[in-house]
Structure 1
Amino acid sequence: MESVSSPRVRRETDLLGAREVPGDAYWGVHTLRAKENFRLAGDSVGSVAGLVPALAAVKQASAEANVALGLLAPEVGDAIVVACEQLRSGQHSDQFPVSLIQGGAGTSTNMNANEVIANLALEHLGHPKGEYQVVSPTDHVNLGQSTNDVYPTALKVAAIAGCSRLSRALEHFCRACEAKASEFDHIVKMGRTQLQDAVPMTLGQEFRSYAVTIREDVERLKEAAAHLHEINLGATAIGTGLNTHPEFSAAVRERLECITGFPVLISPDLVEATQDCGVFVLLSATIKRAAVKLSKISSDLRLLSSGPRAGLNEINLPPRQAGSSIMPGKVNPVIPELVNQVAFEIIGFDVTVSLAAESGQLQLNPFEPIIAACIFRSIDHLSEASITLADYCIAGISANETTLEDHVARSIGIVTALSPYLGYQESGRIAAEALRTGTPVVDLVLEQNLLERDLLELVLKPQSIAAGGYGRMAPLTEHSQRTIGIDE
């Protein structure tokens, strides 16, 4: 690759011919062509959190390994390392303008990195950009590598960092729910199954269950992320290791582990690892699982706060903005609605990842760019949605205690607590009569002399039912045993 420099532009040549590149750009002709070919609006490589530092980590590890193996001059290798360290520190992300979704199985992303690193290295050595006979994007920066091992490895490194970020966001949501659960532990309400009255519980139990279910997904996310630590560096084109040193894989593994700070394992079968996208399918599904749960919780919050006069009106969500351009005073549950929509998006992304992983042929999957786009967008959006739901909704929720008490008092669901004493059939009869006549369950039981008042009050005490009830009840009196036909 030859280059002629000028203050305003420089001329670079690839196999398709010569093109002018902006003189101040660290990227080169390959990136220029990718910019022209892939013009989708949305995320560029440089805008994805952690992806440029991940690419730089892979290139730095490769340069250090090649110097150690005697394949790369120390001066060139050191300059490449300096360039990579700049990228890892967050500099020059604007020099990665290529669309994340691209044809070519990630080649444009790899070449974008190669060109930027080569020109940063040249600058460090005191040479003008484009003087590739000194530091070449392909012969030096990409030495012993292929897009087909660099790109998936960089995606995994970036995804590991993304999973850590998402785990922290989900934990933040869990802590918000736990705080609210402690605040609401004393408030009894009706639990519901299939939108019908079930049995009493506490509002604290409801919110604590949200924390428990999401914390399960934090653990599942950690398990899925563990599979990202297996990489295929040294595989080159299809996994046979063509054009790389036989000791490169071991050397680069050691260097990458040192640079990233997390354990790295070279796949035992590089041919299989180069074509397989199973880890991304697993990761996407795990993220989707958390998104589905957060969406269900958000739907619960919308339902519980519905009204305020013609709905359940059991809780109040903090008002975030006016809800209507025509209905004065209306406030909508905009934060849960946001989370619902993020979940819908992630469910769609997961379908895309599944289709892309299935559609790879033979020794390579060319659709890893769309897999990367879906996974990184899912991580970013779910992280932000979790924090937003915690801070802008959960933390400000208040309970309508009078409404909750009234729901419990009027419900026939409390009759379930009578089953151990009256039996299922008799309890069902009482429930049906209460529903038909509007007479409270307590009154019917007393009128029909089925249980003594003191025992009935103890059995139907909402706090006791919410706590599990039966196992904590006092033994039946002699009169109550005779009433319901229990032999002494």
Structure 2
Amino acid sequence: MKTEYRTEHDLLGDRQIPAEVYYGVHTLRALENFPVTGTNISIYPDLIRALAQIKQAAARANQELGLLDDKRADAIVAACKEIQAGKLHDQFVVDVIQGGAGTSTNMNANEVVANRALEILGHRRGDYHELHPNEHVNMGQSTNDVYPTALKLATYVGIFRLVEAMAYLRRAFERKAEEFRDVLKMGRTQLQDAVPMTLGQEFSTYAVMLGEDEERLKEAALLIREINLGATAIGTGINAHPDYTALVCRLLAEVSGVPVITSPNLVEATQDCGSFVQLSGVLKRVAVKLSKTCNDLRLLSSGPRAGLGEINLPPRQAGSSIMPGKVNPVIPEVVNQIAFEVIGNDMTVTFAAEAGQLQLNAFEPIIAHSLFKSVTHLRQGCTILADHCVEGITANRERLRAIVENSIGVVTALNPYIGYAHATEVAQAALSSGRSVYELVLEMKLMTKKELDGVLQPEVLTRPHPLPKQHAGA
């Protein structure tokens, strides 16, 4: 079939636009200029919804201020509501990485909203003399306040989705901590035997680490909700009504459900990316601690016979094309890789924020892309780790108990009962003979079996408890 076109004009001249698309000439230029990743901005639906929420709030604000007539305002709002409901996202086609400080993204939104609003009014796409992308949809706005505001709305929503996923994973670890509360094992420092603990205590630390970072993310969200909408070009509010800034902020909070507040200094807010740096740093913190947890899970499950073999991860797939029966810790491995990506994204955000000059940071598109990837992938990683790994972990209880009884480190727990000199003698004998501390203590008649078994209990070995009087304070 023959493709039909419409003609649109910009400062560089006329261009033919496919008649069926909702975007216009500015978006077309961006498609030609930025064939970078092959991934368009619609991959981030929260960003598209945020752009539509901003355009809706701006239309209503300008309508209330008497700057935009009811007919056009209602059509713009209707188009924006459709986009928020998930329609026309395929028309947001500019690349996630682009020059121009996000201008191409803003213009893509202006054109899609304008052309859908024209249809609602009974006009053809491209009839901009009836309703214009810049003059009406973008009224009182600039890319320099729209784009960072949209980024903040989208990341705010993403933060709390991530917090929910982290809480989901935390609860999975808490259940395992309860299940393993009586499973005695050896703790390790620097990969060397330390003192006894329970497997439940070990798993509870993973839950606590997640809980701490849930709170840090909520703190970062408080900074993210401060916006510069109304700043227009550089923060002076040029071409906006004096009452527009406060009004559009209130309306945007109503439309989006995000408790946004206007920055006290719009010039500063337009050029400063500090809140994005702060958030990225917290995401890196989450990634680092999550990766450490996955390192532990891989190490504790190593084997099944030549490694630690203390726990079993649920088998997810065959692990080798050449070694029959091999099963790998693929779920912790994929979460490790997500963490590596997030750490790299943080470096990208750092450089991009530092590279801003004077009254604007031109590199917010790569900040947006980096933050969205980090938030999204961490969220998915937490859910995958909970469902496909943590929930199915089992403990090798007999092996763990045998390791404790055979470990030299257990003499530390016996020190208050048999004294430091005898404890040292037992440790040396165990090292030289290869025999267990348990059997040597009995053979040397330092404790009875009942006394020794009484000490080698989780409630004695793994938490503070009253010491025997004859050795207390020794």
Structure 1-normalised TM-score? 0.93
Q: What's the counterpart of residue 159 of structure 1?
A: 155
- Please report how far the alpha carbon of residue 455 of structure 1 lies from its aligned counterpart in structure 2 after TM superposition: 4.2
1:425 and 1:370 map into 2 onto residues whose CA distance is 63
Task: Give 2:262's match in structure 1, choosing from 262, 266, 284.
Answer: 266
1:78 and 1:109 map into 2 onto residues whose CA distance is 23
Q: What's the counterpart of residue 73 of structure 2?
A: 77
Q: What's the counterpart of residue 30 of structure 2?
A: 34
Indicate whether 1:122 and 2:118 are aligned. Answer: yes
1:430 and 1:355 map into 2 onto residues whose CA distance is 57
1:279 and 1:421 map into 2 onto residues whose CA distance is 56
Give the superposed CA RMSD.
Answer: 1.9
- The amino acid that maps onto 2:135 is D
Instruction: Pick which of 441-450 and 105-114 moved more.
Output: 441-450
Secondary structure of the residue that 1:287 maps to in structure 2? helix
1:147 and 1:486 map into 2 onto residues whose CA distance is 70
- Please report how far the alpha carbon of residue 215 of structure 1 lies from its aligned counterpart in structure 2 after TM superposition: 1.3
Q: 1:105 to 1:486 in 2, by over 3 A?
A: closer
Q: 1:401 to 1:455 in 2, by over 3 A?
A: closer
1:322 and 1:177 map into 2 onto residues whose CA distance is 25
Kept after mapping to 2: 8 A contact 1:55/1:113: yes
- Please report how far the alpha carbon of residue 424 of structure 1 lies from its aligned counterpart in structure 2 after TM superposition: 5.3
Instruction: Pick which of 393-402 and 104-113 moved more.
Output: 393-402
Q: How does 1:7-406 map to 2 (within 5 A)?
A: 8-406=4-402
2:347 and 2:415 map into 1 onto residues whose CA distance is 46
2:324 and 2:64 map into 1 onto residues whose CA distance is 71
Kept after mapping to 2: 8 A contact 1:217/1:290: yes
- The amino acid that maps onto 1:93 is H
Q: 1:33 to 1:424 in 2, by over 3 A?
A: farther
Instruction: Pick which of 279-288 and 181-190 moved more.
Output: 181-190
Secondary structure of the residue that 1:257 maps to in structure 2? helix
Q: 1:148 to 1:307 in 2, by over 3 A?
A: same
- Please report how far the alpha carbon of residue 263 of structure 1 lies from its aligned counterpart in structure 2 after TM superposition: 1.4
- Please report how far the alpha carbon of residue 202 of structure 1 lies from its aligned counterpart in structure 2 after TM superposition: 1.4
Indicate whether 1:464 and 2:459 are aligned. Answer: yes
**Aligned-pair identity (%):** 59
2:462 and 2:231 map into 1 onto residues whose CA distance is 59
- The amino acid that maps onto 1:177 is F
Q: 1:485 to 1:355 in 2, by over 3 A?
A: closer
- Please report how far the alpha carbon of residue 41 of structure 1 lies from its aligned counterpart in structure 2 after TM superposition: 2.3
2:52 and 2:383 map into 1 onto residues whose CA distance is 29
Deviation readout 1:37-63 (Å, 9 max, x if unpaired): 111225311111301000011111111
- Please report how far the alpha carbon of residue 462 of structure 1 lies from its aligned counterpart in structure 2 after TM superposition: 3.4
2:333 and 2:35 map into 1 onto residues whose CA distance is 31
Q: 1:343 to 1:485 in 2, by over 3 A?
A: closer
1:486 and 1:393 map into 2 onto residues whose CA distance is 44
Deviation readout 1:312-361 (Å, 9 max, x if unpaired): 11111111111111111111111111001111111100000001101111
- Please report how far the alpha carbon of residue 454 of structure 1 lies from its aligned counterpart in structure 2 after TM superposition: 4.8
Kept after mapping to 2: 8 A contact 1:59/1:142: yes
Q: 1:133 to 1:7 in 2, by over 3 A?
A: farther
Structure 2-normalised TM-score? 0.96
Deviation readout 1:143-182 (Å, 9 max, x if unpaired): 1110000000000000011111111111111111112222
Kept after mapping to 1: 8 A contact 2:53/2:256: yes
1:485 and 1:46 map into 2 onto residues whose CA distance is 68
Kept after mapping to 2: 8 A contact 1:200/1:465: no
Instruction: Pick which of 422-431 and 9-18 moved more.
Output: 422-431
1:454 and 1:406 map into 2 onto residues whose CA distance is 18
| Structure 2: unaligned runs, 5 residues or longer | none
Count the aligned residue pairs.
473
- The amino acid that maps onto 1:174 is R
Instruction: Pick which of 55-64 and 439-448 moved more.
Output: 439-448
| Structure 1: unaligned runs, 5 residues or longer | 1-5
- The amino acid that maps onto 2:164 is R
